[in-house]
Amino acid sequence: MDFRLDSCFPTGKDTSYFELFFEKVKERVGLLKPEVFMSDDDPAYYNAWTSVMGPAKNQLLCAWHVIQNFKKNIRNKVHAKPQNEKEKILEKCVSLMGEQEEEKFQRSAKLLLEELVEDPDTRELGDYLEKYYMKRANVWALCYRKHLGINTNMYLEALHKKIKYSYLNGKKVRRLDLAINVLMKITRDIVFERIIKLAGNVETRKMKNIRISHVASEKIDHCYIQFKTNSSWQVNSSQSGNHYVVTKSKNKCPVEYCPLSCTECKICVHSYECTCMDSVLYFNICKHIHACVTYAKEDGSIVVPTQDIQESLMFECLVNSTSISNSVKVVKPQEEAHADLVAKLEEALANLKTNQYDAEEYVKMTTLTDNLLLIQRKGSFQETSAINTKSFVEKQRFYSTKKKHGTKLDVSSPSCMDKK
């Protein structure tokens, strides 16, 4: 679930404002080590984050903001060229931005800069790109952000648009209390929308894309798949001359049970990588990966890791949790422990409604549920504080709220005698 962590109302865009904000976040949730830190081209955000939380593993600029900056500088720095020439320059910049291979990117960037600098009309733009963008291509070029699963911050921009037009009616709010009230309302609405989707078994967009890719993979004939090594395949396109390479990922899944997985292929998004845009840019299990896994299972060339192994390990961990808890005790506040347990039970119920299991797995889950019910029967109802209904309240002095009519001054124009 994509959701904002916190909100800040700075009076400026100085680094000190964001440092103070991130320090308060750190006091509340601890040190954060994200895989990706994405922002616009303002360096104040990342400088403040680095000084408080430390450098992120990957720093990226939003692709949409980079393209908008290209448009702005082409419009301001290229004056003598006609509109169609400016559009061609923008197309070259965007094409350079979408280059997937680092060597091709370096060659194309060198050629583009030489072309811009040699022309007197575009020399200023070439100097600008060389100074501000070519020296830090790792934060905006596609070849340096493969399989990170993020390219723009459109989710955050969509949230800002929703706040502005759906909750503020397109008006600027100058009062801080009204802005905080709106943030509390949208937080409440998003949480309830999430609960409704879980209760109604609504399929997420990520899971829908995985299912669509699996259906599309069934149309790929195995004659187009070539076995390269024990962990890589080449898929040739039937319509064009392109070919895509599917490799088994060396990195393990960061979570014990990944929700972004294919129930038929028994793999998750972290298991394999492909050179197509669906995998490189959108971090999806593309149709080429589905086809290669199906081909490998039928050919028997590799053993595809299944979720059954992961679930058996999870079952053993749950069974032995009692003995582990006796030796290692994690002390949590009672309210926090209660909230964590409720959240985990709701997640388990949602998974049970959406997924299907075999008979042996249902027996395992039933055993765990029986043990849970035995523990719950030993509990007691929450104690409520006694309310004193005989408390003495002093009689309050009566204040009349009746509107008092004041005497009106009868002002009239002066008569002739008054004028004399």
Please tell me which residue, 279 or 322, carries the higher pLDDT value. Answer: 279
Region of 266 on the Ramachandran plot (φ > 0 left; ψ -120 to 50 alpha; else beta)? left
Is residue 380 predicted with pLDDT exceeding 70? no
Q: Helix, strand or coil for residue 394?
A: coil
Q: How confident is the model at residue 250 (pLDDT cuts 50, 70, 90)?
A: confident
Which alpha helices (DSSP H) does 173-266 contain, by range? 176-199, 205-217
Identify the pLDDT of residue 327.
Answer: 39
More confidently predicted of 107 and 203? 107
As a whole number of angstroms, the distance between CA 32 and CA 69 comes to 30
Helix, strand, or coil (residue 20): helix
Listed residue (44, 94, 46) closest to 68, CA to CA: 94
Q: How far apart are CA 48 and CA 50, in angstroms?
A: 5
Q: What is the pLDDT of residue 387?
A: 58
Helix axes 63-77, 83-97, angle to 10 degrees: 150
Find the range with the poorest average confidence among 99-103, 181-185, 345-349: 345-349
List 244's β-bridge partners, or say none: 235
pLDDT band at 409 (very low <50, low <70, confident <90, very high): very low
Angle between helices 123-132 and 63-77 (to 10 degrees): 150
Please check the confidence at residue 109 and state whether its pLDDT lies above 90.
yes
Q: What whole-number distance in Å separates Cα of residue 232 and Cα of residue 285?
A: 15
| CA 53 to mean position of chain CA atoms | 19
Q: What residue segments make up the domains of the chain, in order of their start? A: 63-144, 153-202, 205-309
Average pLDDT over residues 122-129: 93
How would residue 397 be classed by pLDDT, with cut points 50, 70 and 90?
Answer: confident
Pull the structure tokens for residue 206: 């990520």
Contact 113, 134 (CB under 8 A): yes
For residue 390, pLDDT beyond 70:
no
pLDDT of residue 347: 76
The one-letter code for the residue type at 232 is: S
Q: Sorting pLDDT into bands at 50, 70 and 90, what band is 344?
A: confident
Position 201, amino acid: N
Asked whether 201 and 354 are in contact (CB, 8 A), the reply is yes
Q: Is residue 258 within 8 Å of 228, Cβ to Cβ?
A: no
At 6, the pLDDT band (50, 70, 90 cuts) reads confident
**Token pair listed for 39:** 């922002």
| pLDDT-based confidence at residue 331 (cuts at 50, 70, 90) | very low
The residue with tokens 């908008």 is 68
Other C-beta atoms closer than 10 Å to the C-beta of 191 total 12
Q: What is the pLDDT of residue 2?
A: 54
**Number of helical (H) and strand (E) elements in the chain, helices listed first:** 16, 8
The whole-number pLDDT of residue 309 equals 40
The CA–CA distances, whole Å, from 64 to 35, 41, 61, 239, 315 equal 20, 11, 9, 31, 45
Q: How far apart are CA 68 and CA 72, in angstroms?
A: 6
Q: Is the pLDDT of residue 122 over 80?
A: yes
Segments in 260-412 forming alpha helices (H):
277-280, 287-299, 307-319, 321-327, 334-354, 359-377
Lowest pLDDT segment from 201-205, 208-212, 245-249, 336-340? 336-340
Query: Does residue 341 carry a pLDDT above 50?
Result: yes
Phi, psi (deg, nearest 5) at residue 204 = -75, 165
Tell me how far apart the alpha carbons of residues 51 and 26 are, in angstroms, rounded to a whole number: 12
**pLDDT digit string, tens, across residues 257-302:** 788 899 889 899 999 999 998 999 888 999 999 999 998 887 765 5
Mean pLDDT, the chain, rounded, equals 81
| pLDDT attached to residue 53 | 94
